[in-house]
Structure 1
Amino acid sequence: MDHADVGIVHPGSMGAQVAAQAVAAGARVRWSAQGRSAATRERAERSGLAAVGSMAELTARCGLVLSVCPPAAALDVARQVAATGFDGVYVDANAVAPRRMEQIARVLEAAGATVVDGGITGPPPRTAGTTRLYLSGDAPTVESVRTVFDGTLLTPVVLPGPLGRASALKLSFAAYNKISHALAAEACALAEDHGVLDDLLDLAAHLLPGTPLAEPQHLATAGPRAWRWEPEMREIAGSWRDSGLPGTFADAAAHTFGRWEDHKDDPDVPHRRLIADLLEERPEASD
């Protein structure tokens, strides 16, 4: 299939950079501007994307559609695309559970589309070697998607096997990587409550260099992204339970990230503000 015209739903901070890599590789990338914010429009323009008026127009003009959105919206986006009768290739590159990936596939395949499971690891691709797009599903279709990004700043990696493998790998990595930020924040909040936060940071720098606990500037990066990380933790919790594992770590991390929802996309929130947010709700002392 000719993927010269690629659609992106929706060009957020990650999606816009992913789409920009397809543009750099020679694809015409389109997006639906209907109902989107001025900030999204500006990102799309900077990334070289062409606007269309509606989802129906997007799917009519593109043989390949990429979904890069918050995990809580992934199934709804798939339903919107399916409702247009899209029968091309749909790549769900969201942080969803394998079971959710199966739901998304059923919705789109009923409309005639071919679905590829995708998982993005790393930051938005602006530097070579930092960001990967894992792909699984029908081998020939996966290979056709891989070629769209081959040689770009987004490194495509094929995982042989069925839908769900890329999602499982993405969530497994995110579980460790993102829950470590929540754990560091909770540890810092305990230390702050007892007046030893600076001592904890000094100790962590000595014994645990390179970790979120040792480098508060890394901890601060979780605040602006917590609104996306909270639903991702819930996907992880569900996946763990599907595998017979307790999902309590992810449930707790979701609760922690939920305390930071007011800092959505605020790059200037300091780590001490995030720590203070965790201390605002205290249980009443028992007699």
Structure 2
Amino acid sequence: MGAGIARLLSAHNYRVVTNASGRSVATQARCSANNVELLPTDLNLCNQADYILSIVPQRDAVTTAERVIAVSSNRVFAKQQNPLYFLDLNAISPSSARANDELFAKSAPDIRLIDGGIIGGPPNLKDNGTWSRPSVVVSGPNDLRDAQPSGAHLAEVLNVRHINTTVGSASGLKMCFAAINKGFTALALQSLTTAHALGVVDELQQHMTEFSPRLGLQMNGSLPNMPPKAYRWILEMVEIAKTFEEDGGFSRDENLFHPMTEIYRLVTDGTELAREDIWRCRAVDE
């Protein structure tokens, strides 16, 4: 997702920068391949960027915010004319988003946090020269369209939709959407696995085509690409479960997403497919 957004921004004449020091050679090579300029420190990053887009695995969401806050304590932003915007676009629960908002308000009030989530696949350049883009939903009192410089243009390029002024709403919408899509993928995995054990996969596929063609297409489209990403979906299921309990009012016993966490853990730890390198596979396909 981050690579796709970097390509989209670069194609619209934005300078895209990151600090990938300490990351793998493969990660740094992907940055270069996607027109992302490498900076040596977080301080350089925050001094040169107008907007920081945090798009990381859930386990790194808080750490990424804390890295930016740690740099802001040096008050290096005070000389800048425009405030730094931090777009938290990670797949986290509303309570996690609210906790990050409180962290910024307490420790880095000069940085303007925007709660957000990305719904849909990565940006992709189509054959006709236009871009397919996900929906970037955002919420909270800070509106990217009011930001300087170029906030309104950036919001248009990223397909940003500001849904309301409440921190946590955008993250919650992302959680609810992901619950349906990735919850369905987990159900489809169990169903097809059981059908295989019973020797009725072909019959199941035939009946899905006949009676539920749209679900059949979704099932066959989502499963092949899931295993290499399953490790990231484990914590996403945890965040969805938190959302449904804390904001949806469901008890732990009523929550479907604790066992779904274990399904994706099984795929991650118990299958060879999960150990495929999605970037290597993508390069071979191309």
> TM-score when scaled to structure 1?
0.81
Give the secondary-structure state (helix, strand or coil) at the position aligned to 1:116: strand
My pick for the range that moved more, 192-201 or 213-222, is: 213-222
Amino acid at match of 1:49: V
Asked whether the equivalents of residues 225 and 264 of structure 1 are also in contact (C-alpha less than 8 Å), the reply is: no
- Secondary structure of the 1:210 match is helix
1:259 counterpart SS class: helix
1:54 aligns with 41
Contact preservation (8 Å) 1:71, 1:94: yes
Deviating more after overlay: 189-198 vs 67-76:
189-198
Provide the C-alpha distance between the structure 1 equivalents of 2:144 and 2:222, rounded to a whole number of angstroms: 37
Shift in alpha-carbon separation, 1:141–1:149, aligned structure 2, 3 A:
closer
Contact 1:23 1:29 in 2 (8 A): yes
Q: Provide runs of 4+ in structure 1 moved above 3 Å.
A: 127-130, 139-143, 212-215, 264-268
Percent identity of equivalent pairs = 28
Which residue of the partner structure matches residue 139 of structure 2?
136
Name the structure 2 match of 1:108.
104
Q: Which runs of 5+ in 2 are unaligned?
A: 78-83, 126-130, 280-286
Equivalent in 191, 196, 201 of residue 200 of structure 2: 196
CA distance in 2, matches of 1:200, 1:212: 9
- Cα distance 1:200–1:168, how it changes in 2: closer, same or farther (>3 A)? same
**Structure 2 residue aligned with 1:184:** 188
Q: Which moved more, 1:28-37 or 1:245-254?
A: 245-254
Q: How many residues align?
A: 253
Indicate the residue corresponding to 1:35 in structure 2: 22
Runs of 5+ unmatched residues, structure 1: 1-13, 269-287
Larger helix percent: 2
Contact 2:114/2:142, CA 8 A, preserved across alignment: no
Partner of residue 172 from structure 2, selected from 168, 172, 192: 168
Q: Deviations over 1:115-162 (max 9, x none)?
A: 001110111111434411111122444543453142x3x422121222
Q: In the alignment, which residue of structure 2 is the partner of 1:245?
A: 250
- What letter matches 1:255 in structure 2? E
* 1:119 pairs with 2:123: no
- Contact in 2 for aligned 1:59/1:81 (Cα 8 Å): yes
By how many angstroms is 1:179 displaced?
Answer: 0.4
Using the alignment, how far apart are the partners of 1:147 and 1:62 within structure 2? 16
CA shift, 1:58, in A, is 0.9
Partner of residue 5 from structure 2, selected from 14, 18, 21: 18
Secondary structure, in 3 states, of the residue corresponding to 1:134?
strand
Aligned to 2:135, what secondary structure does the other structure show? strand
Inter-CA distance 250–89: structure 2 relative to 1 (3 Å threshold)? same
How far did 1:33 drift?
A: 2.1
